[in-house]
Amino acid sequence: MTQRVAVLAQDLIWSDRLARAVEDAGAVPARAKTAPEFDRALECADHAIVDLTARGYDPMVAIERAVAAGAHVLAVGQHDDIDLRKRALARGADRVLAYRKLFEDGPATVAAFLARTASADA
């Protein structure tokens, strides 16, 4: 069964980069750039990737909504914003990674996240 991943990112470049990483990992991305679009994407997704630095939505609320919908959450943000990363974990993100990790090794990183959370569910 193909996994679906809701990808919430306001920035077009990161939205595209994250969606391509999901596709290259063998899953199907459902892109969103607003909270309502993300809610719709979560309806058929068991995973979510949330960009933490957007201003058009509250990333902490997005994480909570994804977790409430039953999705495993991978959050991405600045490597040096430790407080934001801790808050994302406290809100329910399974992992929080720096942009650089997704930039350098996106498909493998996403594939490992999908495999890890799928095996945790089994």
The per-residue DSSP string of 30-89 comes to EEESSHHHHHHHHTT-SEEEEETT-SSS-HHHHHHHHHHTT-EEEEEE-TT-HHHHHHHH
> Could you give all domains of the chain from N- to C-terminal order, each with its CATH number?
4-121 (3.40.50.2300)
Percent of the chain residues past pLDDT 70, beyond the cut: 96
Tell me the pLDDT tens digit for each residue of 67-117.
999 999 999 998 888 999 999 999 999 999 999 988 899 999 999 999 988
pLDDT greater than 80 at residue 118: no
pTM of the complete model:
0.94
